[in-house]
Amino acid sequence: MDKTEELEVIRIKDGEEPDPFDDQLAVEYPVTIFFNDQELVTLLCTPTYLEELAIGFLNSEGMIRSYDDIASVELDSEKGLIYVKTKKKKALTEKLFAKRTITSGCGKGTIFYNVLDSMRANKIERPLDITSEQVTSLMTELQQNSMMFKETGGNHASSLCDPTGMVVYHEDIGRHNAVDKIVGHCVKHNINIENKVLVTSGRVSSEILLKVAKLDIPMIISKSAPTTLSVRLARELGLTLVGFVRGRRFNIYANGWRLTDVHVTDHDSIKIKESILDEINKQVEDKEE
């Protein structure tokens, strides 16, 4: 299925006559994931690498931990359906849907039992040696590979890299989907994430950060800015968070010690009175009472 479609649109410029022309637009495709024969979620996405998208989404939601958990994946591309079955049958429960948290992404949001269950991540102590020049170079490489964005201006891109260059690249109309495709690719192909970095064009929200943290990837580089919650989570989890990469400039929001040529007073020295993870779960519990 094509990622883009040509449609006639009308360009308006100040002081000029309306100008009809054919433009390339990003295709938006609904795909419904069935988990052990139960309908789980419908994602609006770019119709590429749908198996990786489904696997990445299920891993992010804590429903699978590795590709070995999966018995089969069946795709009906004409109807937009993906059927994922696990070796150990896990049924969806009413409790799971009752604790659904609406996220800042698109679609139906993210499903949580609670934040701790969702992330399954310990503090990331994995070392990584990377320079500021490599940070900006990886962002440049991501943008150079974003051909769909150059055609349509309507998609996000993410890549898994080592400090010297890109290893895996995926794109999608949704920033969460682009990251889930990376996650799914890593899970499906058992990619070694040692010395790896996640580079993304989209804003780093808490759910994006948790997707990456669960894979034990030690660093995120984003063209955009993060949210306050994602910064607090990154500082607590030991994940290096870099954003607002523009040319040769960028901001370090958390754990800058992995950048070998940058000497900063690390944010880890800031005392956190209460664990942000405990704080979030307490808020969820209070709302449920």
DSSP state letters, 215-276: TT--EEEESS-B-HHHHHHHHHHT-EEEEEEETTEEEEEE-GGGBTT-----GGGSPPSS-H
Integer Cα distance of 20 and 22 in angstroms = 7
106 in catalytic set: yes
State the DSSP code for 92: -
Element (H, E) at 171: strand 165-172
Which residue numbers belong to the known binding site? 244-249
> If we measure between CA atoms, which residue out of 257, 276, 277 comes closest to residue 265?
257
Candidates 45, 106, 161, 186; catalytic one? 106
Say if strands 38-45 and 29-35 run parallel, antiparallel, or are unpaired: antiparallel
* 26, 6 Cβ separation under 8 angstroms: no
The arrangement of strands across the sheet holding 29-35 comes to 38-45, 29-35, 81-86, 70-76
Return d(Cα 264, Cα 253) in angstroms, integer.
11
Q: Catalytic residue numbers?
A: 106
